Structure 1
Amino acid sequence: MEFITIKVTCDPALIDVLIAELFEAGFDSFQEFDDGFEGSCEQSQFDEEKVAVLFNEFPNVSFTVQEQEKINWNEEWEKNYDPIIVGDKCIVRASFHESRPEFQYEIIVTPKMSFGTGHHATTYQVLDYQMELGHQGKKVLDVGTGTGILAIMAAKRGAKELVATDIDDWCIENSEENFTLNSVKDVTLIKGEIDEVKEANFDIVIANINKNVLLDQIGAYADRLNERGQLILSGFYEDDIDDLLRKANDYGLQKTHSSVRDRWAMLALEKRSV
């Protein structure tokens, strides 16, 4: 399978906007840098016309597009991937690192193109909050699961039923592999958008995606939550919190917790009857 990589050089203030726009143009995996970011998608999803129109609106932004063959991500990540320690209880490590049994939660990942290894501030914050949130016996939905790391934490915290979704073949492949590495069984893994999740009555819904998708889908998350269920959102900046809270209030979702790390934010909300 071939894929397209686009490397964008831009003002950091534009990164979130451009990533959201490229997501709409078919890109689904992103990595940020100080001076821009890279985005990737399967070649079949690449819409060259949409990308050209987008960047015509941003004349001070430069970009390059490259076709690539499928990469041996195990080999690539082994060169650069360092374990992540979340708080003092959790370590996220690759399979080629030594085990660290002194941590209460040890999550093993085989990183590919999928977002969500714990390095990014959004994933880190959700993991940190999950260690404080009761999961025992709960039914949990992880939307946009990526590496599957948040669903894995839910399982380790005692969730009784897990559903995970993603729109990307890479993420489905990677999350399946990571579920196996962490002995997480009986996960219902769905390739597709939130509308493909026909179940409801979830106690916890997690969505670490991006602001535009969250604003568009927050009603669907609320519909799938039990009364007093918890919705955990991340993938947006601190400046976006108010916009998300206004939208959340339309669906009876009330803020219970928030955090910020490196300008990135996380919100925890509870569903309450309006």
Structure 2
Amino acid sequence: MKWLELHLDTQPAGIEPATELLSEYGIDSLMIDEEGDFKDFLENNHQYWDYVDDELMEQMHGKSRITFYLEDSAEGCNTLAQFRIGLSAFKKQHPEYAPLILSMENVEDADWENNWKQFYKPMEIGERLLVVPEWEQAQEDGRVKLVLNPGLTFGTGSHATTRLCLQALEQHIHGGEKVLDLGCGSGILSIAALLLGAKDAFACDIDDKCVGVAYENAALNGVGKEHYTVRAGDVLSDKRLQKEFGGDYDVIVANIVADVIIALAPQVGKLLKKGGIFLCSGIIDDRAEEVREKLVEAGWTIEETRSSEGWFSYLCR
């Protein structure tokens, strides 16, 4: 039997939560490597060494890695695909555990691509949208078709938080809008808005890989840079990025995490036109009431609440 060897890199504080996440998918046989364990070994086993080179110390610096194995089979690949969806949501909920990078040994990248892609199919969203993975075919049925290739870094659009945003956008984009997409990832929300009729969109994400991925997805859908701008940076602290935002947006969408939405709530209104909407998602159910209260404190009126699979979104004016 062949096995896939997988590694999940995280912060030391993320080891226990990440192992609990793996357990939810039936993955309980793990090996954990940490810098602290390595240093403890060096400290308590002087009799076995007298010199440790700088390269080895650098390799172990800040290292917290979970190693696990899955069968190299359809069942194993299905488990891996489902875990990848769960990991995407986990990353949104817990940015403090970054990098949360999943990597694989003993299989070529092309094999991984082919294995995980088979589990993503076209998805109908609301009344108007159809999200189609680039490698799939879909019948033309009058819906607005959004072609997407998220790569291995960003979500596919299948997660509940993304679907909630897409459902709201298809109801509130009527044509000619200016859109700001905070935490854009693959660009799915801002590109969807443009395909639904928005005139211009500005998108950003803290992960600098977003720029290439979002522009590539825009090109797949015939969206050019004259109407679409993508940048990388921290929406809360990057002054240059904040200056480039400009203002007068009709729609601002933030599919991020509760803490960032709470921090944005008092600030983001100045970027909107009068009567514009702030759509926020990525809110886990046990933080939903807290986020609602903070939005109201910041002066927002919550006009629509959506929920799915334990996640919430709010549409505010």
The normalised TM-score by structure 2 is 0.64
* Structure 1 residue aligned with 2:180: 141
Deviation at 1:206, TM superposition (A): 0.3
1:189 and 2:199 are equivalent in the alignment: no
Q: Give the whole-Å Cα distance in 1 for the aligned partners of 2:90 and 2:274.
A: 38
SS of the aligned residue for 2:209 comes to helix
Deviation at 1:88, TM superposition (A): 4.2
Instruction: Output one character per residue of 1:137-164: Cα deviation in whole Å (capped at 9) or x when no partner.
Output: 1110001111111111110121112100
Deviation at 1:237, TM superposition (A): 1.9
* Structure 2 residue aligned with 1:58: none
Contact 2:178 2:251 (C-alpha < 8 Å) held by counterparts: yes
The normalised TM-score by structure 1 is 0.73
The equivalent position to 1:169 in structure 2, one of 205, 208, 213, is 208
Single out whichever of 190-199 and 161-170 deviates more from structure 2. Answer: 190-199
Q: Give the whole-Å Cα distance in 2 for the aligned partners of 1:32 and 1:162.
A: 31
Contact 1:237 1:263 (C-alpha < 8 Å) held by counterparts: yes
Deviation at 1:131, TM superposition (A): 1.1
The structure that has the greater radius of gyration is 2
Contact 1:84 1:92 (C-alpha < 8 Å) held by counterparts: yes
Deviation at 1:203, TM superposition (A): 1.0
Consecutive unaligned residues of structure 2, counting only runs of 5 or more, are 1-6, 25-61, 63-80
SS of the aligned residue for 1:180 comes to helix
Contact 1:9 1:37 (C-alpha < 8 Å) held by counterparts: no
Single out whichever of 118-127 and 214-223 deviates more from structure 2. Answer: 214-223
Deviation at 1:201, TM superposition (A): 1.4
* Structure 1 residue aligned with 2:278: 231
SS of the aligned residue for 2:267 comes to helix
Contact 1:74 1:110 (C-alpha < 8 Å) held by counterparts: no
Letter paired with 2:230: L
Contact 1:235 1:264 (C-alpha < 8 Å) held by counterparts: yes
1:205 and 2:252 are equivalent in the alignment: yes
Contact 1:222 1:251 (C-alpha < 8 Å) held by counterparts: no
The equivalent position to 2:310 in structure 1, one of 257, 263, 271, is 263
The equivalent position to 1:118 in structure 2, one of 130, 134, 157, is 157
Instruction: Output one character per residue of 1:24-51: Cα deviation in whole Å (capped at 9) or x when no partner.
Output: x9xxxxx9749x747999xxxxxxxx86
Consecutive unaligned residues of structure 1, counting only runs of 5 or more, are 15-24, 26-30, 42-49, 55-63
Contact 1:4 1:66 (C-alpha < 8 Å) held by counterparts: yes
Contact 1:74 1:111 (C-alpha < 8 Å) held by counterparts: no
Contact 2:204 2:210 (C-alpha < 8 Å) held by counterparts: no
Contact 1:206 1:231 (C-alpha < 8 Å) held by counterparts: yes
Determine what percentage of the aligned residue pairs are the same residue.
Answer: 28
Q: Structure 1 or 2: larger strand share?
A: 1
Q: Give the whole-Å Cα distance in 1 for the aligned partners of 2:203 and 2:125.
A: 22
| 1:219 to 1:80, Cα distance in 2 relative to 1, 3 A | same
Deviation at 1:67, TM superposition (A): 6.0
Q: Give the whole-Å Cα distance in 2 for the aligned partners of 1:228 and 1:175.
A: 28
SS of the aligned residue for 2:307 comes to strand
Q: Structure 1 or 2: larger helix share?
A: 2
Q: Give the whole-Å Cα distance in 2 for the aligned partners of 1:245 and 1:236.
A: 10
Letter paired with 1:220: Q
Contact 1:113 1:170 (C-alpha < 8 Å) held by counterparts: no
Instruction: Output one character per residue of 1:115-134: Cα deviation in whole Å (capped at 9) or x when no partner.
Output: 34221001011111111113
Contact 1:127 1:150 (C-alpha < 8 Å) held by counterparts: yes
1:91 and 2:121 are equivalent in the alignment: no
Single out whichever of 143-152 and 126-135 deviates more from structure 2. Answer: 126-135
Q: Give the whole-Å Cα distance in 1 for the aligned partners of 2:303 and 2:89.
A: 33
Letter paired with 2:307: V
Q: Residues 235-254 of structure 1 correspond to what in structure 2 (within 5 A)? A: 235-254=282-301
